[in-house]
Amino acid sequence: GAVVSQHPSWVICKSGTSVKIECRSLDFQATTMFWYRQFPKQSLMLMATSNEGSKATYEQGVEKDKFLINHASLTLSTLTVTSAHPEDSSFYICSARDLGASSYNEQFFGPGTRLTVL
């Protein structure tokens, strides 16, 4: 149980285009999901907290107009990188909390999405 999927696993796009990344909790409901960014050989940096049915909360320094987050259902959150540029190339990881489980203080991580912007 407690599986989180991401789609796509790898995407290449041209500079100036927008890219959508999906994060799904497959066997549990997640009212809260988190989006992280990981540059090569670096740690995970929290970008935003995605709350079902409400606006996302962004970390300081993260452009909310560039990284659009939508959490329209209890099992799906999407991250859209708008007008992507080469510096947005990174590994994007989502995680989710299963508030209905005894392990609610644990986060379950997706496998990540590698974004390459040409």
Return residues touching other proteins (CB under 8 A): 32, 34, 38, 42-46, 49, 91, 93, 95, 97, 105-107, 109, 111-112
Task: Give whichever of 78 and 113 is closer to other proteins, judged by the CB atom.
Answer: 113
Query: Least Å distance between CB 19 and other proteins?
Result: 18
Q: Decide if 108 contacts 21 (C-beta within 8 A).
A: no
Task: Give whichever of 36 and 81 is closer to other proteins, judged by the CB atom.
Answer: 36
Query: Least Å distance between CB 110 and other proteins?
Result: 8
Task: Give whichever of 33 and 81 is closer to other proteins, judged by the CB atom.
Answer: 33
Handedness of CA 7, 81, 69, 42 (dihedral sign): positive
Task: Give whichever of 15 and 64 is closer to other proteins, judged by the CB atom.
Answer: 64
Query: Least Å distance between CB 50 and other proteins?
Result: 11
Q: How far are the Cα atoms of 29, 32, 77, 90 from residue 24, in angstroms, in the given order? A: 9, 11, 7, 20
Q: Decide if 57 contacts 51 (C-beta within 8 A).
A: yes
Residues 6+ away with beta carbon under 8 Å from 37: 44, 45, 47, 90, 91, 92, 93
Query: Least Å distance between CB 68 and other proteins?
Result: 19
